[in-house]
Structure 1
Amino acid sequence: MIFNLDQWLIYKGIEETAAVLIANAAAVVMILLISILAFIVTKQVFLRILAFYIHRNKILWDDKLLGRKVFRRLAHMIPAIVIYAVAGLFPEYSVSIQKIAIIYIIMAGTLAMLALLDAIDDIYQTFEASRFKPIRSIVQALKIVVWIIGGIWIISTIIDRSPLLLLSGIGAVTAIILLIFKDSLLGLVAGIQLSSNDMLRIGDWIEMPKYGADGDVTDISLNTVKVRNFDNTITTIPSYALISDSFKNWRGMQESGGRRIKRSIFIDSSSIRFCTDDMLEKFKEFRYLSEYIENKKLELEKYNLEHNIDPAQLVNGRRLTNIGTFRAYLQAYLENHPEIHPEMTRMARQLPVTEYGIPIEIYAFTKDTSWESYETVQADIFDHILAIVPEFELRIYQSPTGYDLRHMGL
C-alpha cells in the first residue's frame, strides 16, 4: 500500500509533489512506529522474561550482566535494525538512512560492550583472586580501545571508507594519541607491573608521604589508586607514581602475625652504678630476676675466684650493674609478656651513648597487628618500664623543665 500511496493520492486529485511528500512522510511514520513497537516488545516482554529467569536461577554472573544493563543496551539496536531493513522503501534516501542506522547500531553496540566489560570486572571481583590481581586498570584500558574502534567504525561509515584504511593511517597521529592518552598508557603499564609483581592489592595498608597517603587501598583503576586514610580522608595517587616513587606496604607485617615495637628510653648516665649487696637482695625479690641474680652471682664469684681478683675494690673483677640488671629484667619481662609474639625477636638492647643519655631499646613484635591493639600493648609496656626505672636506682633523662628550675631556686 505504501509503494502506491503517492499514486493513490494523485488519483484523488492531490498534486504530484505533495502526494510524494505525504507518501514519504507516511512511510517514515510507519517505520518509526514499527521500530518503536519492536523496541517496546523487546524491552517490556523479552527483557522482563529474561530478567525473571535470571533472578530465579542460581547463576551469579548473569545478575551482573543484568545489573550493568548489557541486555537493555543491546535492545536499543532493534529499532536501528528495523530501520536498516526497510530503508529500501526510500530509494533516494536509502543509503543515508542505512548509514544513520548503522551508526546507531555501532553506538549501541559500543555502549553494550562497555557495560559488558564493567560486568566482567564485577564478576571477577566476586572471586578471591581479585584481591591479589585486580583487573580494573586492564578493563579501563579495554574501554579506551572499544571507544577508539567504535569511533573509527563510525567515521568510516560516514565517509564510506574501510575501517582498515583508517587504521593504516592512524600511525600519522600516533604522537597526538600518545600525548592525549599519556596518563592512561602510563597507568596501564603501572597497573600491569603492580599486578604481576604483587606490589599492591585492594585492602593493603600503604604509606606514601609524598602524596599524604597513609591508609587502606580502596580502588585500583587505570589512572589512579584511591587510599582511604585513617582520618577518613581520600588520597588519590597516580598509578604510575607507585612505580616511579617509593611507598611502604604494611601487608607483610599484617600477614606475618606480628607488628614491631622499636622504641627507646634514655637513661641518665650519672645514675649508673655497680650493684651493692643490698641492691642485689632487693632485685632477688623481683619476679623475673630472682633466678638471674642467683645464677649471675655464682658465675661472677667463680670467675673472680679463678682469676684471684680482690673484690674489695669496685674496679677489680666483674660485677653486676644496675643498668645491666635492668636490661636483664626487661628481657625477661618481654619473654613473659602475653601479648608479645613468642616466635619473633624479643630483645632489650643498649644502643650507643648519645648526648641525651644511654638508650635502652625495646625490640619485639606484638601478636595483634591491628593499630589500636598495637598501640595499647606498646603503651602498657612502656608505662611499666617508666614506672620501674627508679626501682633500679636509675633515672630517665629529660631536659630541665620549669618545674626543675623552680626547685633549683632559679
Structure 2
Amino acid sequence: MEWLVGLWADLVTLFGGQVWILMISAILLATSVIDLISRRFLKTLHYQLLKRHKVWLDSFVDASRAPVSFFIWVTGTVLALTTLIYRLNIYVDLIPIIQSFKSTILTLSVGWFVIRLVQRLELHLKAYARVDDRFDEVTVEALAKIIKLLAFVLTGLFFLNAFGVSLTGLLAFGGIGGIAVGFAAKDLLGNILGGLMIYLDKPFTVGEWIRSPDKQIEGVVEKIGWRMTTVRTFDKRPLYIPNGIFATIAIETPTRMTNRRIYEHIGIRYSDIHVMPQVVADVKQMLQEHPEIDQEQTLIVNFNAFNASSIDFMVYTFTKTTNWVEYHEIKQDVFLKISDVIASYGAEIAFPTRTLHMFNENSSTNLEASDSIPK
C-alpha cells in the first residue's frame, strides 16, 4: 500500500499544477479496468451457460453485457467531467444538468436491457413454438413488440422527468395532441389496430395460404407488420396489404382445411340409362374402397339430373390429404377409375349432341304430322 501512495506522490510532483489531468486520467483508467473485468466475466459466463444449454438464463446474461458496459462508461465519463469542472471552476452551472443526466443512466441502462432481453427471449420462444403446438410464433412476436414499445415509452418518460419535464403536463398535452393526430392519421392508426387484431385473433399466420372472395387477394403470408401485411401471390409477386383492410373483408385460410373436396357431375348417354344403377353402385363402392378417400366425411354418388344431351350422376367426396399437388393426383386417379367403370358396362361419357329427324314431303303420314303443327 505504501508503494501506491509513493507512486501517487511522484505523479503529483511530475504533473505539478496540472493535477486535474492526473485525476481525470486515473478515473478513465479505472473505468477501463472495471469495464474490461465486467466484459470478461459476462462473456465467460455467457459461453458457460451456452455449453450447459441454459438458454433462458443466458438470455439475461447476454442481454446485460452492452447495457452494463454503457452504464460503467457513462458513469466514469460523468465523474471525470464533473471533476474537471470543479477543478477548473468553469461552466459550474452545468453541474445540475450533468447530475440530472447521471440519475437517468440507470434508467436508460435498464430500458436497453429490457429491450435486448425481449429480443433474445423472442428468438428462443419462436424456436420453441416450432416444435410445440401450445405456442404460436405470431403471438410471441406480437407480445415482444408490445413489451419493447412499453419499455421504450417508459424509459423516455423517466428520462424527460429527470430533466424537470412535468409528466402531468406532458400527458395532458399528449392527450390533446393524440386527438389531433388521430384525425390526421386515422388510416395509419386503423392499420396499426388492424395489425393488433390480426395478432390477437390469428385469422392467419406467417406461411399460411389466404384468399379473399371480396378482393383480388390470394397467396402465402410472408410477413405481418404493424402497418401492413406482405402476401406472396402464386405468380411470385409481392402484395402489400394495409392491415385496416382485413377488418372490412372476408378472409379464407385454405391452409387450415381438414380435407379437400371432389365435387363433379358426370354425364352418360341417354341410351345407357339402363346401366345407370350399376354404374352408380360401382363408383360408390370404388370410392369406399379407395385408400385416399376419407370415409369419415360425406360420400355421395347419385343419379341426379336429366340434361340436354346426357343423364348425369353426382360424385361428392373428400380426400384425406390437403396438399394441392397430391389432391390432383388422387382426383385424376378417381376420374380414370370412374371412366373404367362406365366403359365396363359398354356405356360412354356423353358430350353435347343434336339429333336431326328427316321426313319425306310426299309421305301422307308426314303430311298429316305437318298439318297438326299449329300455325
Deviations 1:267-307 (A, max 9, x none): 26xx21365xxxxxxxxxxxxxxxxxxxxxxxxxxxxxxxx
Aligned residue number for residue 247 of structure 1: 251
Aligned residue number for residue 37 of structure 1: 33
- 1:171 is matched with which residue: 168, 175, 183? 175
Deviations 1:165-210 (A, max 9, x none): 4234321211355468867754564455445545334554433463
Structure 1 counterpart of 2:47, one-letter code: F
Deviations 1:306-353 (A, max 9, x none): xxxxxxxxxxxxxxx334443333222212222111111111245556
Q: Is the 8 A contact 1:83 1:97 kept in 2?
A: no
Which consecutive aligned stretches of 4+ in structure 1 deviate over 6 angstroms post-superposition?
A: none
Aligned residue number for residue 331 of structure 1: 284
Alignment of 1:33-112 (within 5 A): 33-43=29-39, 45-65=40-60, 69-85=63-79, 88-89=82-83, 90-91=85-86, 92=92, 93-101=94-102, 106-112=107-113
How many residues are matched? 331
Name the CA distance, whole Å, in 1 between partners of 2:216 and 2:107. 41
Aligned residue number for residue 350 of structure 2: 396
Q: Is the 8 A contact 1:348 1:362 kept in 2?
A: yes
Q: Is the 8 A contact 1:226 1:237 kept in 2?
A: yes
- 2:157 is matched with which residue: 140, 152, 169? 152
Aligned residue number for residue 16 of structure 1: none
Aligned residue number for residue 403 of structure 1: none
Q: Is the 8 A contact 2:50 2:58 kept in 1?
A: yes
Structure 1, 128-137 or 48-57: larger mean CA deviation: 128-137
What are structure 2's unaligned runs of at least 5 residues?
A: 87-91, 355-375
Q: Is the 8 A contact 1:77 1:109 kept in 2?
A: no
Overall identity of the aligned pairs, in %? 18
The 3-state SS of whatever aligns with 2:282 is helix
Aligned residue number for residue 340 of structure 1: 293
Name the CA distance, whole Å, in 2 between partners of 1:199 and 1:86. 56
Deviation at 1:219, TM superposition (A): 4.7
Structure 2 counterpart of 1:37, one-letter code: V
Deviation at 1:248, TM superposition (A): 1.0
Alignment of 1:268-307 (within 5 A): 271-273=269-271
Q: Is the 8 A contact 1:187 1:223 kept in 2?
A: yes
Name the CA distance, whole Å, in 2 between partners of 1:29 and 1:177. 50
Deviations 1:135-162 (A, max 9, x none): 322322333333333333334444x224
Name the CA distance, whole Å, in 2 between partners of 1:103 and 1:178. 31
TM-score, structure 2 as length reference: 0.70
Deviation at 1:51, TM superposition (A): 0.9
Q: Is the 8 A contact 1:262 1:364 kept in 2?
A: yes
What are structure 1's unaligned runs of at least 5 residues?
A: 13-18, 276-320, 401-410
Structure 1, 46-55 or 187-196: larger mean CA deviation: 187-196
The 3 A distance-change label for structure 1 pair 348 and 212 is same
Q: Is the 8 A contact 2:232 2:239 kept in 1?
A: yes
Q: Is the 8 A contact 2:261 2:316 kept in 1?
A: yes
Name the CA distance, whole Å, in 1 between partners of 2:19 and 2:172. 44
Alignment of 1:16-35 (within 5 A): 27-35=23-31
Name the CA distance, whole Å, in 2 between partners of 1:143 and 1:32. 33
Q: Is the 8 A contact 1:137 1:220 kept in 2?
A: no
The 3-state SS of whatever aligns with 2:263 is strand
Name the CA distance, whole Å, in 2 between partners of 1:57 and 1:180. 53
Aligned residue number for residue 290 of structure 1: none
Q: Is the 8 A contact 2:270 2:310 kept in 1?
A: no
TM-score, structure 1 as length reference: 0.65
Name the CA distance, whole Å, in 1 between partners of 2:169 and 2:153. 14
Deviations 1:327-383 (A, max 9, x none): 333222212222111111111245556668555432111122222221110111113
Alpha-carbon RMSD: 3.9
